[in-house]
Amino acid sequence: MQIIAAFRYAIAGIVYCVRKERHMKIHITAALLVLAAAWNWRLSRIELAVLIVTIAAVMAVEMINTAIEALVDKVSPEFHPLAKAAKDAAAGAVLVQALAAVGVGYVLFWDKLFK
């Protein structure tokens, strides 16, 4: 696959997730707010790097969750315990990453907000 076409498909995947997933819109809004706060409090370069990786990880896991949901809906529209396991595990991955992001936010911003 040509590299330009590969990029086009990847962008289409991101656009699909943003359009379809309400959670992606929430993640993007939160990311913009957090980046504004990082700029306001002049986070160090390393803090900013951690923040960027965390934001990207949350969005990437959410997109993988969307991919798994789409695949499960395609191959198993009817109820199946394995379909449930796949969707629940994917949702669990999003939760784990979101909790980690809250932890990162706490470490980076708590002192600046409350001291």
Binding-site residues, please? 9, 21, 62, 69, 78-80, 87-88
Query: Which residue matches tokens 């390393």?
Result: 46
- Could you say which of 38, 58, 62, 65 is catalytic? 62
- Please check whether residue 47 is in contact with residue 38, taking contact to mean a CB–CB distance below 8 angstroms: yes
Structure tokens at 58: 């949350």
Structure tokens at 3: 């590299």
- Please check whether residue 31 is in contact with residue 55, taking contact to mean a CB–CB distance below 8 angstroms: yes
x-or-dash string of contact with ligand ATP, 66-85, rule CB under 6 A: ---x--x---x--xx--xx-
**Is residue 21 a contact point for ligand ATP (CB under 6 A)?**
yes
Residues that bind ligand ATP (CB under 6 A): 21, 69, 72, 76, 79-80, 83-84, 87-88, 91
Active site residues: 62
